[in-house]
Structures are given as structure tokens and as C-alpha cells.
Amino acid sequence: MRSLARPGGNITGISILATELNGKRLELLMEALKDVRRIAVLFDPRITTPKQLKILSDAAQSHGVEMAVLEAGSQEAIAPAIENASKAGAQAMNILATPLFSFNTRRIIDQTALLRLPAMYQWPEEAEDGGLLAYGPRITLVYRQLARQLLKLMRDVSIADVPVEQPTVFELVVNLKTAQALNLHLPETVLTRADQMIE
């Protein structure tokens, strides 16, 4: 690929900056839960690299937070990994970006609620569905971008001339119902930055 604007060859699509935003989500989670000293990171080894995990771990350590790394590379591995996070004394969880976790959102939200584990998610819709916090582009808007690209290709535009698009709007959604259920009092600095609060 030559560039996102002119990918060339037979590549195009949407770059959702998934792994790049994992660090921002960790930052927001630490800001929201200032007293937390141990955060679990749930990751898919097919998506997240050791280097990316090291960057997250260093960022957590710089705030005096220890990071527990938990791997789930299949649907069956998700629930045991979250349970292990709780057993390991994690006080919160950052759910890293991967299609696997997006397709199992309900399972993850229900399990973290059962274990009273506050969690940060990838898509704003996941906080609307009961997750505590979410930061990223709306999945519905990403699908619209994909649909527009497909229309271009159906009109015989060469795939090499269709730029790789990126989301331009990122939302922070805070679910105050979930915060109340977890007996959490989120700081004003986070609440004032929220694009949407679920009450």
C-alpha cells in the first residue's frame, strides 16, 4: 500500500485505528478510576502484539498502575480470562480492540457486571448496552463508510482509486447506570468530556 489516500493495487477499506486507540482508552480508564492500582487488559493474541502490550504496560506503570495481561483468542476463552482477572485482583479491565470481543460484547458485559469489574470498551454502542465506558468511532458510522466504498466499487471505480478511509468522529460514552450499580463516583474531568452519558 502506497498511502491511505492512494492505496494502489487491490486494497481499500476502513482503518478504524483500533490498536492505536487502546492506549487512549487505558488513559481514560485510569482517569475515571483514580484509586485503581491494578488494571487487567483483555487481549486477542491474533490482533495485539507483544510490542503493543509493552507500550500499554509502560503507560500504566508511569501512573503507578500495575497491568495484568489476560489472553483470549477464542470465544470459549473469554469468560475464564475475565474470571482470572478478578482472581488476580484486577480492579478494572481494558477490553482491547478485536472483532472477537466485538462479536461477544453481551457475554463480556454480563461477566464483568457479575464480577463487579468496571471495564472500558471499543465502541460507544457497548457503553450504551451496559458497559461502564467506551471510546471510539461508532460502529454504525464505520458500516456506513464501508457501504459508500462498496457503492463506488459497484460503479466500476477502480479499487486502486478508492482511498482507505478513517473515522473522523470519536465518542466517549459513560454509562452512569453502570457506575451507580458498581458504586463508582466518576470524576468531573471525565464526565465533562463525555459526549454522551447514559442515565
Cell (9 digits) for 97 = 480492540
- Nearest Cα to Cα of residue 104 among 119, 89, 84: 119
pLDDT of residue 116: 96
Strand partners, 133: 120, 174
Q: State which residues of the chain have pLDDT below 50.
A: 1, 3-6, 12-14
pLDDT of residue 12: 45
pLDDT at 32: 97
The dihedral through the CA atoms of 101, 103, 109, 114 has a sign that is negative
pLDDT of residue 168: 72
What are the grid coordinates assigned to 11, written together?
A: 486494497
3-state per-residue secondary structure call for 123-176: CHHHHHCCCCEEEECCHHHHHHHHHHHHHHHHCCCCHHHCCCECCCCCEEEEEH
Domains and CATH numbers, the chain: 18-187 (3.40.50.2300)
Interacting residues of 99 by C-beta distance below 8 A, sequence separation 6+ = 47
User: What per-residue confidence (pLDDT) applies to 3?
Assistant: 46
What Rg do the C-alpha atoms of the chain give, in angstroms? 18
C-alpha closest to that of 95 among 35, 39, 150:
39
Give the per-residue pLDDT at 21. Answer: 87
